[in-house]
Amino acid sequence: VRAVVLTGDRTVEVEQVDDPVLPGPRGAVVEVERTAICGSDLHLYHGGMGTGVHLGHEFVDRVLEVGSEVLRFGAGDRILVSGVIGCGRCQTCRSGVPGNCEANRTAVFGSSASLPGGQAEAVAVPEVDEFALAIPEGLSVESAVLLTDILPTGYLGAQRARIAPGATVVLFGLGPVGVMALQSAQLFGPARILAVDREPSRLARGAELGAEVIDASGGDAVAQVLEATKGRGAASVIEAVGADQTVSDAIACAAPGGTVSVVGVNLNPAFPYPMGLALLRSLTLSATLAAIPATWPTLVPLLDSGRLTPDAVFTHRLWLSEAPHAYQIFDARQDGVLKVLLDPKG
């Protein structure tokens, strides 16, 4: 099968790789129908984490073959698969939170050689009963792809920010995850959402979606937020970038008693957490990897009823064979790109 392979710093190629094989009796082999590129893939694309990885953790597919112990799915079923999986057997995995697997077997598709990713024609899915969902009738393929990672992530970012009706929210980042967080935040009834980014096209889209946008390109995002909130800041702050700067700024924008909810990936062990400020302002800090399957029972009805309409996040639809170009424009934020959908048929 063909797969998108990381072959060097800022280089991916579509290569012929070995066909996936059944990953044990509780696994499946699936044929990929559509797959998307994520901001998290760019962390790998930027290099330093080894090459040879088959990328991709956001994919929707048709089951080709299941192992002998699989109960919920069979060949021919259309399923979406959580981008993050775990052992599939512990209580936490079974409650849909593989990011906190008690057996320490949390794994992200397409981030290491041990779990090849879904930007490919076909892929192996371990523990499929726990980490996949049959695609409900009427759900678009775009919404299905978004349910594999970024919609759950954005939704959890908003939910964990504890937004009260009438509250002011600040959101850092209007990338694809930020847009999911913006649309999710609106479900909780805030009076205002201030959204911070530094790309003109992303700010314009945030304004279209109902946010008051703040351009951070001058480096004074916090001052602008404080000015817009009469010096108070916001009771709920969502961080969907992951840079040291934006995490710091998010904390600095929280009003006394406020909550800062981080879903941007920041793995800096030396991150300078402002303990004194957090103590004096009684802040709550939340950070999480998306508990993807646990959000499906909430998000599927919201998509089904049209209360959430995230599909417009896809700005580009390309063939899998065009992945090198897709990564390049997504990384350089060229061509107004927000989210790229790849079709493995071409």
Ligand X SMILES: NC(=O)c1ccc[n+]([C@@H]2O[C@H](COP(=O)([O-])OP(=O)(O)OC[C@H]3O[C@@H](n4cnc5c(N)ncnc54)[C@H](O)[C@@H]3O)[C@@H](O)[C@H]2O)c1
Q: How far apart are CA 215 and CA 195, in angstroms?
A: 9
Interaction partner, residue 245 (Zn ion, ligand X, none; CB < 5-8 Å by kind): ligand X
CB nearer to ligand X: give 87 or 263.
263
Choosing from 87, 144, 147, 222, the residue that interacts with Zn ion (CB under 5 A) is 87
* Partner in contact with 87, chosen from ligand X, Zn ion, none, beta carbon below 5 to 8 Å by kind: Zn ion
Q: How far is the CB of 67 from ligand X (least distance, A)?
A: 27
We find the least distance from the C-beta atom of residue 97 to Zn ion, in angstroms, to be 9
Residue for token digits 């065009």?
322
- Which range, of 62-70, 86-94, 263-271, 274-282, touches Zn ion by CB under 5 A? 86-94
Maximum CA extent, the chain: 62
Distance CA 111, CA 56 (A): 8
Which residues sit at the interface with ligand X, rule CB under 6 A? 38-40, 43, 149-150, 153, 172-178, 196-199, 202, 216, 240-243, 245-246, 263-265, 289-290
Q: Which span (82-90, 122-130, 223-231, 268-276) binds Zn ion, by CB under 5 A?
A: 82-90
Q: Which secondary-structure segment (H or E) carries 131?
A: helix 128-131
Burial class (CB in 10 A: 0-12, 13-18, 19+), 84: buried
93's contact among Zn ion, ligand X, none, with CB below 5 to 8 A by partner kind, is Zn ion
- As a whole number of angstroms, the distance between CA 81 and CA 163 comes to 29
Helix (H/G/I), strand (E/B), else coil: 6: strand
90 is an interface residue for Zn ion by CB under 5 A: yes
Nearest CA among 152, 195, 155 for reference residue 171: 195
Chain residue at closest Cβ approach to Zn ion: 38
Partner that binds at residue 86, options Zn ion, ligand X, none, CB closer than 5 to 8 Å by kind: Zn ion
Q: Which is nearer to Zn ion, 86 or 190 (CB)?
A: 86
DSSP 30-93: EEEEEEE--HHHHHHHTSSS-S--B---EEEEEEEEE-TT--S--TT-EEEE-SEE--SSSHHH
Q: Determine the length of the chain.
A: 346
Q: How far is the CB of 215 from ligand X (least distance, A)?
A: 9
| Minimal distance, residue 337 CB to ligand X, in Å | 9
Give the binding site for Zn ion (CB under 5 A): 38, 40, 86-87, 90, 93, 101, 103, 149
